[in-house]
Structure formats: structure tokens, C-alpha cells
């Protein structure tokens, strides 16, 4: 076994590899860009090497720097993770030429499966069924259009290189073919540097079912059953599961045999995935599946396979790359239960899944799965980390396992509803809505499901009065991140035996909300809200929703939905108002802790006048302009929101 490996990746997959390597006693070297200098994978590794600036072209795609880092640190092998250089055969050549081991397939295997058209021709020769279509070299528009007519509309134009849904166009009618082809070519050229395409029959109710395969360097190859990845948006996977719902013994046998046949056709070594398109319009049948492509690496969704087979695929990768045989034979690999993986992204589902950035001021995952289920979280970020615009905005993968599909689905919904993320827009509400969708729940899923239901899946209901009241409480100092704290200690002390009230302003989207929070002697509260919200009165704190306070904001969590409220700085508001006034008013209830000037003193703009203690913090009240003090609050006085603290005798002219 290797003593030390380098991980040529970042984020959750780098952390994932480190965990298994550490379990096996293998030391790890991380690489990082400028943006990742303090990243989680850097902190977890035994060593870390800086490889360049934040853009991937200057860091994570620089094979020469990565190989140099491995040699300099004494690493014996390089694990590519997924994405970046994981399926780049030239990088594999660089690694092996340097005398290092690439933890993955050979460059020849990657090249054989790297272009969709060539791969499909190879699979046809190996006896693996492929989608009816044109996979040839000629690219003239007249030829492609004629092939489309032969195949029969609708057809799918696909870039022959790359993936991720780029360079793909569905064409319903011959008149639309030319424009769709131009669009697919432009997109493919921009994404992959290759504008060549293939044309295939479009399957009416397509399911994306893939088979995990694994080979070693002794000619052995096995499958670890199938995963269903049909829940996709923009041709990108959202929730994956294993095994595939509705899978029949006949189809599983045919599909897994074809997958192993495909792996053996290219003498495959390491972890790989054979992706199939399945026509589910008449149920799952053994003669209605076709090869799409092979991913010659570990997949993002590999944890669901690990959960249902009891394997560690990263451990298998290390063992096979180190020259060992496959850890298990085919008969030893058994299915057990059902697993789901949900990809939690920083993105705005309601705005077409637009990627988001931000700082993760609050990040909390469930402590445990419901009874009878298991759960794991794969992440590469911590609270306080920033979501960078340079990389994929994935925050975490939430994986659950249950004894059957329904129990696993229940566990998924429960885990999503307990996940709390504040500081960036996230897709947890969308994922929970998808998990609860009637068709998805029934296992009646295809690649068009999200598109058909997108509006319903992404709509976010307006916050309730209860939610707004909770945000107002938090903004006023009464709300807390955890219900175990004493949220009233900061306000109740101000009032002693009488009610104290504080005005609070919130902003939700384009809406401004005014709230008045009152604390009663019995420790309960009243919140009066501006229209269109109804007053929320006398609620016990134990009913307060989960929430998080972060700079300038409050986030209230209701199940998997998070509502973000901007909270204007009361001191800034007070300064703004006071700049044009002859008096300074308290922006919040508090205690006049220290008075620094007296009646008759001349002061200058910005000079500290007094210290107001509020919300367990000290706030400096400064002069908004030059002037002379006519009146000032008494040190030790308890003041309410809006109380005059300072009056000026005159205002400087200028």
C-alpha cells in the first residue's frame, strides 16, 4: 500500500479521500489555490502545497504543478477525485511519466471512452446496446439533417466531448434542426473546445440509470449494481438513489452484464460508471436500455452505492492502484436496503437555479438520522467559509440509507428539514419539495420530471406572521440561534417590572416591515407587525422557530425553507436622522453605561458622547455634527427606544 498520496482536487471529494486514506494509514498531500488557502481539505491533510491563483486554469488544471507537488513531497500516487483532471488522459501520461501511480484507469481506457461517438462505436462492437443514432465523423449539416430524418423526430443533438448537459439540444421538427445544431456547436466549442456532435433518437420518457463497475489489473471486473440519476435539472443530477425504483430482475441482469462487458472491452481498472438511457414509457424492460457514455472516474453519487453494498469505493481505488486484486468477487457483493443522495448547492432554484455565493455564517446538519436509518454528510466547507465564484457551488451531499425506499425517503425529508444554512441562498427547500413530489415519491421518475414540475417545486410561499415575528425578535435581541439560550436576558433587565418596547425594521426581498416588540414581566412577548402581517401576540418562546443571526441579517428556518431578513443597522439609522436634527435619540432600549461629555461642552463631528449598553453589547453614540451640548442623559439611566439622549444648543454652520 502507498505510504503517501497527493489529492489533485478540492472540496468535499478531497475531504472524502482523506478520510479513507487516513483510515488505511496513508498520509495525504493537499493542493490548493489562493481562494482555498484556508479550506477544509487543506486543514485535514498532512501536508499542503500551493499551486496557483484561484481560477482553475491557473491551479487545479495545471497538471505540471500538481505532478511537481507530488514529487516534492514524496507522494507515490495521485488521486484525481472527480472533475478537473480526473478524465484527462494527458494528465495520466504526465503522472506515469514522472514515475508516479495514477489512482484510476489507464490513459488508453480514458481515451477510448472520452468521446461519445467513438465510445458508442466501440460498445457496438462489444455487443453493448447503444441508442439509435449517428455517431460518425462527418459533420456536414446536410448529412446530419438527413440522419436526423432517418432516425425520426424528436432527436437529440449532443456534443461528442464533455458532459454536464452542455452542447445538448432537443429538436422536435426538421425546420428547427439547423438553429439547434448551431446552438449546440457554439456551446460545445465554448465548453470543450470541440464543436463536433452526434445525433440520437430522443427517448420519450427517459430514465438515467447507471451501473457502478470496478476492474483491477488482473483482468477482473465486477458491478456494484445500479443507481437511478433521473432527477435532473438542466441535464445535471440533483437527487440520486440506489437501487433504481421499479427495477426488474431481467433488466438488472441485462444491464449489469452489459456494463461489465463494456468495462472488460477496454481492460478497465479502477472505479467507473456505465451510464444507460432507459425508455420507461412502457415500464422497465430488458430490451429498452441503451449505452450513453462511460465516466472513467469516481462519481459524485458514489456514496449511495457504498451504502447499499457496504463497500468503500475509495479504499477499493487505493488497493487496486497499489496492485492488489479486487477486494470482493461478484457473488460477494450483495444489495441491502435503499439509499438517497441529495446535492445541497448554493443556488437560487426560484431563479432558474442561478448559482449563488456568500459566506456560510451558519451551517448546521442533523445530528443523526431517524431511528432505523443511517445518514452521512459529505462536505468540504465549515461555518465561516465562503462560497467562491471560482468553483462549483456545492455545499454538501446528504446521504441517507433505510431498510426500503420509503423509509430512506422519509429519512431524506427529515434530514433536509433539519439542515440549517445561512449566509447564501441554498436549494434545500427545492430538494425537500422534490423528495415530497407525488411522482418522485412513487418512484415514477424520469429526466423530465423536474422540468414539468419546476414552478411548483421552486415556489417559496411568503413568510407567515409567526416567521416575521421570530425575525423581529431576533433582530431586537430576543431571538437566538438555539432555544437553549436565554433570549430574554438582554431585554427583560431593561424593564424591571414594566413593559419595554422596541421598534424594529426588517426587509424581506423588496418588502419593508416594521415591528414593535414588547416584553412582559411574565417573560412572554408581544409583536405588532405592519401590514400585510397580522399581529402576533403573547407567544411562548418555546414556539419560536429555529433561527440564526448573522451580520446585518436574520434567517428563520421553517422545515427545509429558510427566510432571510435584512436588518438595517439601528445606529446607522440614528446617525443618519441625527445628522439633520438638534437631538440624538436611543436607537434601542438600553443602559447609559458611560457619559463622556457634559452640558455646555463643545463637541466635533464623530466625537464619542456616551456608551449605550444594549443586546449585551456596548454601542458608542457619537456626535453627528459639530455643536454644543445642551442636555445629555444621566449615566446609569435605563432608556427606551426613541428616548432623547443628547440635545444640542446650536449646530455648527458650514
Which set of grid coordinates corresponds to residue 463?
413568510
CA 459, CA 410: separation in Å to the nearest integer? 22
Beta-ladder partners of 500: 519
Beta-ladder partners of 394: 345
Give SS3 for 524.
Answer: coil
Which residue has 449489469 as its cell numbers?
256
Strands (E), 280-337: 289-295
Transcribe 41-68 into DSSP letters: HHHHSSEEEEEE-SSGGGTTT-HHHHHH
Known catalytic residue: 288?
A: no
Which one of the listed residues 252, 297, 319, 405 is annotated catalytic? 297
Angle at 470 between CA 469 and CA 472, to 5 degrees: 60
Q: Indicate the length of the chain as a whole number.
A: 654
Beta-ladder partners of 374: 401
Give SS3 for 304.
Answer: helix
Which set of grid coordinates corresponds to residue 436?
415530497
The residues, ordered by sequence, that sit 6+ positions from 150 with a Cβ below 8 Å of its Cβ are none
Beta-ladder partners of 632: 646
In three-state form (DSSP H/G/I as H, E/B as E, the rest C), the secondary structure along 328-385 is CCHHHCCCCCEEEEEEEECEEHHHCCEECCEECCEEECCCCCCCCCEEEEEECCCCCC
Element (H, E) at 627: strand 627-632
Which residue has 443522495 as its cell numbers?
341
CA 651, CA 632: separation in Å to the nearest integer? 15
CA 604, CA 600: separation in Å to the nearest integer? 13
Instruction: Say if CB 169 and CB 157 are below 8 A apart.
Output: yes
CA 470, CA 485: separation in Å to the nearest integer? 15
Query: What is the distance of C-alpha 41 from the center of its chain?
Result: 16
According to DSSP, residue 117 is labeled H
Nearest in space to 288 (alpha carbons), one of 260, 246, 327, 320: 246
CA 440, CA 369: separation in Å to the nearest integer? 21
Which set of grid coordinates corresponds to residue 214?
470496478
The residues, ordered by sequence, that sit 6+ positions from 342 with a Cβ below 8 Å of its Cβ are 238, 239, 397, 398, 399, 412, 416, 431, 435
Helices (H), 74-132: 89-97, 107-114, 116-126
Query: What is the distance of C-alpha 477 from the center of its chain?
Result: 30
CA 319, CA 403: separation in Å to the nearest integer? 30
Catalytic residues: 297
Amino acid at each position: 500500500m502507498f505510504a503517501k498520496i497527493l489529492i489533485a482536487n478540492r472540496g468535499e471529494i478531497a475531504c472524502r479521500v482523506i478520510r479513507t486514506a487516513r483510515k488505511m494509514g496513508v498520509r495525504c498531500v493537499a493542493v490548493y489555490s489562493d481562494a482555498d488557502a484556508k479550506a477544509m481539505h487543506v486543514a485535514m491533510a498532512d501536508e499542503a502545497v500551493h499551486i496557483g491563483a484561484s481560477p482553475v486554469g491557473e491551479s487545479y488544471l495545471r497538471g505540471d504543478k500538481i505532478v511537481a507537488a507530488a514529487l516534492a513531497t514524496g507522494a507515490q500516487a495521485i488521486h484525481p477525485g472527480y472533475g478537473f483532471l480526473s478524465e484527462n488522459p494527458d494528465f495520466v501520461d504526465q503522472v506515469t511519466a514522472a514515475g508516479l501511480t495514477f489512482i484510476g484507469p489507464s490513459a488508453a481506457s480514458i481515451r477510448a471512452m472520452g468521446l461519445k461517438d467513438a465510445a458508442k462505436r466501440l460498445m457496438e462492437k462489444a455487443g453493448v446496446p447503444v441508442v439509435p443514432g449517428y455517431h460518425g465523423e462527418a459533420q456536414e449539416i446536410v448529412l446530419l439533417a438527413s440522419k436526423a430524418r432517418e432516425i425520426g423526430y424528436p432527436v437529440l443533438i449532443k456534443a461528442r466531448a464533455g458532459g454536464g448537459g452542455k452542447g445538448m439540444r432537443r429538436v422536435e421538427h426538421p425546420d428547427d434542426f439547423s438553429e439547434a445544431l448551431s446552438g449546440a456547436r457554439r456551446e460545445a466549442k465554448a465548453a470543450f473546445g470541440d464543436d463536433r456532435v452526434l445525433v440520437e433518437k430522443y427517448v420519450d420518457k427517459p430514465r438515467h440509470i447507471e451501473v457502478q463497475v470496478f476492474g483491477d489489473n488482473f483482468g477482473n471486473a465486477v458491478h456494484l449494481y445500479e443507481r437511478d440519476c433521473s432527477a435532473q435539472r438542466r441535464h445535471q443530477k440533483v437527487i440520486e438513489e440506489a437501487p433504481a425504483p421499479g427495477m426488474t430482475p431481467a433488466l438488472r441482469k441485462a444491464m449489469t452484464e452489459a456494463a461489465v462487458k463494456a468495462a472488460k472491452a477496454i481492460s478497465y481498472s479502477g472505479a467507473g460508471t456505465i451510464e444507460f438511457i432507459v425508455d420507461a414509457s412502457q415500464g422497465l424492460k430488458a430490451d429498452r436500455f441503451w449505452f450513453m457514455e462511460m465516466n472513467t472516474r469516481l462519481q459524485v453519487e458514489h456514496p449511495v452505492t457504498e451504502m447499499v453494498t457496504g463497500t468503500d469505493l475509495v479504499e477499493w481505488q487505493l488497493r487496486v492502484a497499489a496492485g492488489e486484486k479486487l477486494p470482493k468477487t461478484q457473488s460477494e457483493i450483495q444489495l441491502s436496503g435503499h439509499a438517497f443522495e441529495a446535492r445541497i448547492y448554493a443556488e437560487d432554484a426560484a431563479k432558474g437555479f442561478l448559482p449563488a455565493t456568500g459566506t456560510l455564517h451558519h451551517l448546521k446538519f442533523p445530528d443523526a438520522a431517524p431511528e432505523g436509518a443511517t445518514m452521512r454528510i459529505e462536505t468540504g466547507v465549515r461555518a465561516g467559509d465562503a462560497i467562491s465564484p471560482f468553483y462549483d457551488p456545492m455545499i454538501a451531499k446528504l446521504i441517507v440509507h433505510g431498510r426500503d425506499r420509503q423509509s430512506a425517503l422519509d429519512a431524506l425529508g427529515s434530514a433536509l428539514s433539519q439542515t440549517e444554512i445561512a449566509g447564501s441562498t441554498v436549494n434545500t427547500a427545492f430538494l425537500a419539495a422534490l423528495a415530497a413530489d407525488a411522482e418522485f415519491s412513487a418512484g415514477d421518475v424520469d429526466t423530465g420530471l423536474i422540468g414539468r414540475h419546476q414552478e411548483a417545486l421552486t415556489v417559496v410561499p411568503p413568510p407567515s406572521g409567526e416567521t416575521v415575528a421570530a425575525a423581529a425578535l431576533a433582530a431586537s435581541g430576543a431571538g437566538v440561534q438555539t432555544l437553549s439560550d436565554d433570549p430574554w436576558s438582554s431585554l427583560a433587565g431593561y424593564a424591571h417590572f414594566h413593559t419595554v418596547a422596541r421598534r424594529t425594521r426588517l426587509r424581506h426581498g423588496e418588502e419593508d416591515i416594521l415591528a414593535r416588540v414588547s416584553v412582559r414581566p411574565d417573560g412572554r412577548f408581544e409583536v405588532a407587525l405592519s401590514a400585510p402581517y397580522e399581529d402576533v401576540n403573547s407567544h411562548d418562546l418555546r414556539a419560536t422557530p429555529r433561527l440564526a443571526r448573522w451580520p446585518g441579517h436574520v434567517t428563520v428556518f421553517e422545515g427545509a425553507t429558510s427566510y432571510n431578513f435584512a436588518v438595517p443597522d439601528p445606529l446607522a439609522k440614528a446617525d443618519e436622522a441625527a445628522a439633520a436634527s438638534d437631538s440624538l435619540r436611543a436607537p434601542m432600549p438600553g443602559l447609559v453605561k458611560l457619559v463622556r461629555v457634559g452640558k455646555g461642552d463643545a463637541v466635533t463631528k464623530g466625537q464619542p458622547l456616551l456608551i449605550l449598553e444594549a443586546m449585551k453589547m456596548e454601542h458608542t453614540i457619537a456626535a453627528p455634527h459639530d455643536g454644543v451640548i445642551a442636555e445629555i442623559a444621566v449615566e446609569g439611566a435605563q432608556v427606551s427606544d426613541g428616548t432623547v439622549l443628547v440635545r444640542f444648543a446650536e449646530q455648527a454652520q458650514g
